[in-house]
Structure 1
Amino acid sequence: MRLAIIAISLFLTVQSFASPDTLMVESSGIRSLVGVWQGNAPGSDVVVWFHGGMRSDNCLKGLVAADDFSQLFPQMTVISASACRDNHWATMNMVNIIDAALDSVAARQKRLVNTVSLVGISDGSLGVIVYSMYGKRNVKNRLLMSTYGPALGEAPQVAVHPKLKQGKWRFLQGGADRLYPSVQSLPWIESFCKTQKGDCEPKFDPKGEHDWLYWKQNHMEWIREAILK
């Protein structure tokens, strides 16, 4: 599959987009705008952020979605692609978009990027799981917040994929999630971790809400443990 990457050398103003740099990445005729936040530490870890609302009509989400996260971890390089409409996180097109963007980051930073960490919120968590299955890179750490795993099938069938044995899994799930009730979402996560039999742990907050802001304001210790340790 031919991948074409067009790097846009624009230093975007804050008024336009949150990301200080951007890429236009193409795979099989599908284009995605990718926000890039360069880490301030040489050889910094690379994190892929998967935003929520993966089927919306907003095809620019990647340019702003990871800004808040990147400010919490300025030492890391963070990339955030834009999924929308039929080009959602559970498609091979978007898996290939992520890998093409990582190829570009590696070339621009003149180093290998063979291992990454993944962070997903809402249905972005599905992107974490699907990329872990089919992406080219090894995955070290995963943080999945407000996940609805049944969208991908039965947990034991998903968790047996051999590439999912690699790396760390941390699920943050809330009892006050307005979209994914814990009575439906939490059993799937628990079954996934039981089948996966690795470093896989659900973290449940009975008052937990759906959005990133709740987890950031109330459980930074869980976020740090998932990403840094």
Structure 2
Amino acid sequence: MWSLSFAVRKSSGNMRRWIPLLMLGIASGFTHAGDWSEPLKLRLGPDSNACGILLPKPLKPRPVILWLHGGMHSQNTAKGWTAMQALPPFVKPGSYYLCSPSSYVGADWLTPQGLAHIDTLLNYMASHYSVRMDKLIIVGVSDGCLGALRYAKEGRRKVSRFVLFSSYPPLAINSDDLLKDSVYLSTRWDVFQGGRDRLFPSEQVFPLLKEWANANPKVKLHLYPEGEHDFSWYTEHAAPEIRQLFK
């Protein structure tokens, strides 16, 4: 079994605000305000989970990208309202519907309630918009990766592709399952991991990820020796690779 020891974890959802990311997209010509609707802030489900949605212009049948934010033990119960707004600079305009639910202390991604937040939002998207659920993509950042890994096994919908930034799978699933379970051996995974991740030491994480990639040819590793934990590092140093995922 794989193990990992590290200092007390602080909230890992300290991404840069989405406005600088949008400016990055504008500078690159990849997005502009006219490509998306105004962000929608909804409360869905029996516990009124805070969910954010960005709609493409025009509204046509398109795949869905669902973003799972980091810092799942935060006291902030409404991260989902703005979490998906990190994506537009890296997504071809008009090509996807973007959405994000919220996770927080007591309802983190690894709890039944946290997983229900994901399904509730996906059900809403499927019933209100012309979405291509057969092309569903889930993007996880830090703790959001744990939610993605758990959802792959326990969620109600089949996911076409997962994209993970800064993860350590054994925090969410049995590492043996990662190498043996058909869910993790048949689905497409893009995994971004940094050698200077402050939470997940590369000497322990990289070998497991490489073993997983050897077991599943659909796992593509994006390993950066200088990479750090926060998503902002990847927006600065791996933007072309991220854009390539969502062309």
TM-score by length of 1: 0.82
Cα distance in 2 between the residues matched to 1:170 and 1:112: 20
**Structure 2 residue corresponding to 1:94, chosen from 114, 130, 147:** 114
Cα distance in 1 between the residues matched to 2:126 and 2:159: 16
Offset from partner CA, 1:26-48 (integer Å, 9 cap, x none): 2xx54421111112251121011
Following superposition, the deviation at residue 155 of structure 1 comes to 2.1
Cα distance in 2 between the residues matched to 1:127 and 1:119: 10
Report which stretch shifted further, 166-175 or 51-60: 166-175
**Structure 2 residue corresponding to 1:180, chosen from 196, 200, 204:** 200
| Matched residue type, 2:224 | D
| Matched residue type, 2:70 | G
Percent identical: 27
| Matched residue type, 2:49 | S
Cα distance in 2 between the residues matched to 1:149 and 1:105: 28
Find the counterpart in structure 2 of residue 209 from structure 1: 228
Find the counterpart in structure 1 of residue 176 from structure 2: 156
The answer to whether the aligner puts 1:108 opposite 2:128 as a matched pair is yes
Aligned residue pair count: 208
- Larger strand proportion, structure 1 or 2? 1
Structure 1 unaligned runs (5+)? 1-13
**Structure 2 residue corresponding to 1:32, chosen from 34, 49, 62:** 49
Cα distance in 2 between the residues matched to 1:166 and 1:30: 34
Q: 1:194 to 1:155 in 2, by over 3 A?
A: farther
Q: Which structure would you say has the larger RCO, counting Cα contacts within 8 Å and 6 or more residues apart? A: 2
Offset from partner CA, 1:98-128 (integer Å, 9 cap, x none): 1111111122215563441010111111111
Cα distance in 1 between the residues matched to 2:179 and 2:49: 28
Following superposition, the deviation at residue 208 of structure 1 comes to 0.5
Q: 1:62 to 1:68 in 2, by over 3 A?
A: same
Cα distance in 2 between the residues matched to 1:141 and 1:225: 14
TM-score by length of 2: 0.76
Find the counterpart in structure 2 of residue 167 from structure 1: 187
Cα distance in 2 between the residues matched to 1:227 and 1:191: 26
RMSD of Structure 2 on Structure 1 (CA): 2.1
Q: 1:118 to 1:127 in 2, by over 3 A?
A: same
Structure 2 unaligned runs (5+)? 1-18, 20-37
The answer to whether the aligner puts 1:72 opposite 2:101 as a matched pair is no
Report which stretch shifted further, 48-57 or 148-157: 148-157
Cα distance in 1 between the residues matched to 2:115 and 2:40: 21
